Amino acid sequence: MNRIGVALGLGLALAVSRAHAVEVDYGDWKLDLSANLREIVTVTRDVDVGDLPLDPNAPVPLRSMLLATTRARLQLEARYGDHWTGQIVYDNELFLGTGRDSLAFRLAEQLGAPTWLDLDHTIADSRDATWRHLLYRGWLRYQADALEVTVGRQRIALGRTQLWNPTDLFNPIPPLAVEGDQRIGVDAALARVRVRDDLWAAAIFAPGVNDQNPSSAFRLELSRRELDGALMFALIDRDRVAGLDFSSNVRDAALRGEFTETWHFGSVRSRRAFLQPERRAARFLQRRAARGRRAAALGGALPVADPDPHGVAKPDGRGAGLRPDAVVARELPVDPRLERAERGVRALAQLVAAE
């Protein structure tokens, strides 16, 4: 890509940064067009592709590398009548810096997005910059009182814990991801049917990517006043998985947990479990505010990072077991006793066993 291409990419980014949301109401149609700009700078130590191949008898040469990522995003949300909704999110990304020569960046560039439909493309790649565009979201949903169906590129977020999700099988977010609120979706169909007032059945199907077989899952989701839980059976490529996740409120505390049993192809079995006790953030913040303490929420007022809950929200507005991407607010500790309590309620129990 020549310098004209770089200038065009920067011009697009500047145009998006000055854009405002546009809302249009036309009969039964409601449209919402918005744009945003995100700039991310990361500094890492990695292998430079110029040092390949490596000498097996010498230490691995790690170099400090800087990568600047500029993402210009256009988002269109549409609603027709009382039952139909859809979303399209289109991204342009510009990469600058020495991090483009890292082994991790080049591998990710070669692999591309792990999706069934090939909807990402590198527009140009030169010595100065890399410019690509992709479809981040693109789904259509029908939603009624007892039926929800979503088809297209969507984020199917399973599980209830916030640090690690063993039951998040379709497109999990890596624990060390720089952008925890960003994850390319999966091209899939999701259907949910209300069996009774507090019980839903969900079915998920995703075509295979590359040489993998299709993946599917069936879930029973129970939601009551003090207990939410789900039982899942899934087929991921050629592995069979049984999973359980739950969340419960115990006075001023919340307890979340997930458990999976996986029968890998070739008769290898593994088990993962994760338990997360925590204080209920809303009550904690309210009580501290009543005492006149200054509170600070890490990440702001906690809007859902990925705007579409993928048919997860129930008519009463509460989640139903498919977890939208979100960050939990915490208050900065003031009293040392509260700081010790914070560490106590954040105690995590993790068991990883292989049989």
139 located within any domain: no
Question: Of 105, 134, 163, which one is at a domain's C-terminal end?
Answer: 134
Q: Clarify whether residues 245 and 340 are in a common domain.
A: yes
Q: Clarify whether residues 155 and 229 are in a common domain.
A: yes
Q: Clarify whether residues 121 and 232 are in a common domain.
A: no
Q: Clarify whether residues 6 and 26 are in a common domain.
A: yes
Task: Count the domains in the chain.
Answer: 2
Provide the β-strand partners of residue 234: 217, 241
Q: Clarify whether residues 179 and 231 are in a common domain.
A: yes
The conformation of residue 48, written as its DSSP 8-state character, comes to B
Report helix, strand or coil for 257.
Answer: strand
pLDDT digit string, tens, across residues 132-156:
999 999 999 999 999 999 999 999 9
How sure is the predictor about 110, in pLDDT bands with cuts at 50, 70 and 90? confident
Q: Clarify whether residues 220 and 322 are in a common domain.
A: yes
Predicted local confidence at residue 327, as pLDDT: 30
What average pLDDT does the segment 263-290 reach?
64
Question: Of 134, 157, 186, which one is at a domain's C-terminal end?
Answer: 134
Structural domain that includes position 54: 1-134
Predicted local confidence at residue 83, as pLDDT: 96
Q: Clarify whether residues 259 and 111 are in a common domain.
A: no
Question: Is a pLDDT exceeding 50 seen at residue 242?
Answer: yes
Q: Clarify whether residues 339 and 321 are in a common domain.
A: yes
The H or E element that residue 121 is part of is: strand 120-125
pLDDT digit string, tens, across residues 4-25:
455 555 565 555 555 568 999 9
pLDDT digit string, tens, across residues 65-76:
999 999 999 999
Q: Clarify whether residues 196 and 96 are in a common domain.
A: no
What average pLDDT does the segment 172-189 reach?
78
Q: Clarify whether residues 181 and 289 are in a common domain.
A: yes
Q: What predicted TM-score, i.e. pTM, was given to this entire model? A: 0.72
Q: Clarify whether residues 125 and 186 are in a common domain.
A: no
Burial bucket for residue 353 (CB in 10 Å: 0-12, 13-18, 19+) = exposed
Q: Look at residues 253, 257, 261 and name the one whose alpha carbon lies nearest to residue 274.
A: 257
Residue 355 CA to residue 337 CA, distance in Å, equals 42
Tally of CB atoms within 10 A around 344: 10
Burial bucket for residue 59 (CB in 10 Å: 0-12, 13-18, 19+) = exposed
Provide the β-strand partners of residue 11: none
Q: Clarify whether residues 257 and 192 are in a common domain.
A: yes
Question: Of 109, 134, 159, which one is at a domain's C-terminal end?
Answer: 134
